[in-house]
Amino acid sequence: MMGMWFKHGRLWWCAAFVGLLLTACATPQRIGGGTADAFDRTGRFALNVQYFDGKRDAVQGGFAWQDDGNHLRLDLANPLGSTLARVDVSPGQALLTHSDGRQERAQHPDALVELVLGSPMPVAGLRDWLQGKTGSDQVDGLQKNEAGQITAFSQNGWRAQLSRYDSQGPRLLQLSRKDTHRNISLRLVVDGD
């Protein structure tokens, strides 16, 4: 009898562990309530920072993105799917709402995201990059594939590599940046339609 309980108990724990792993891959739900032509994406991110003194930081989680061209909303979640923060961007203003309801304002969204993650994420650039565009700022080293889709470029201190395109844009974005005291790499994997 004891052996049978042990066998079934072990199966239950294995099933619970698999369920936990599946939950850990959760991404936030799509953001509802936008205009019909709003650009929506969800997925996962991994941010790694290597400091020149040998220290290393890493954070990962999920994101939900909605942009109607005038208003941008970005939700950031931890690996278990709990919301870390929401960033709302409108012309000349960015508002960060922490999970506990505290709010902070700035003119630029990148600085607000750095408050949550501890390292910068190029939110302003991602408005274009998630759609496979470069935007209006100067671009260096622009590369395209045979289909005419942008695959690599440098802009505003970030090196971007875009791939795995679907009908809305790239589904894999690999971004890197070298600052005076650290190297930053950011990987975004967009969920399928």
| CATH code: domain of residue 62 | 2.50.20.10
Q: What is the pLDDT of residue 28?
A: 61
Q: How many domains does the chain have?
A: 1
User: Predicted confidence band at 32 (pLDDT cuts at 50, 70, 90)?
Assistant: low
Structural domain span for residue 106? 2-190
User: Predicted confidence band at 34 (pLDDT cuts at 50, 70, 90)?
Assistant: low
Q: The tokens 């339609």 sit on which residue?
A: 193
Q: What is the pLDDT of residue 149?
A: 98
Mean per-residue pLDDT for 49-67? Answer: 93
Q: Three-class SS of residue 111?
A: helix
Mean per-residue pLDDT for 65-81? Answer: 91
User: Predicted confidence band at 27 (pLDDT cuts at 50, 70, 90)?
Assistant: low
Exposed e or buried b for every residue in 45-78, given b needs 16+ CB within 10 A? bebbbeeeeeeeeebebbbbbbbeeeebbbbbbe
Q: Is the dihedral of CA 34, 40, 42, 46 positive or negative?
A: negative
Query: How much is the pTM?
Result: 0.80
- For residue 174, give both structure tokens: 């690999």
Task: Name every residue whose Cβ is closer than 8 Å to that of residue 58 and which is 6 or more positions away in sequence.
Answer: 46, 47, 48, 49
Has residue 147 got a pLDDT over 50? yes
Has residue 22 got a pLDDT over 50? no
Of the ranges 31-35, 82-86, 144-148, the best mean pLDDT one:
144-148
- For residue 170, give both structure tokens: 């790239």
Q: What is the pLDDT of residue 80?
A: 87
Has residue 19 got a pLDDT over 50? no
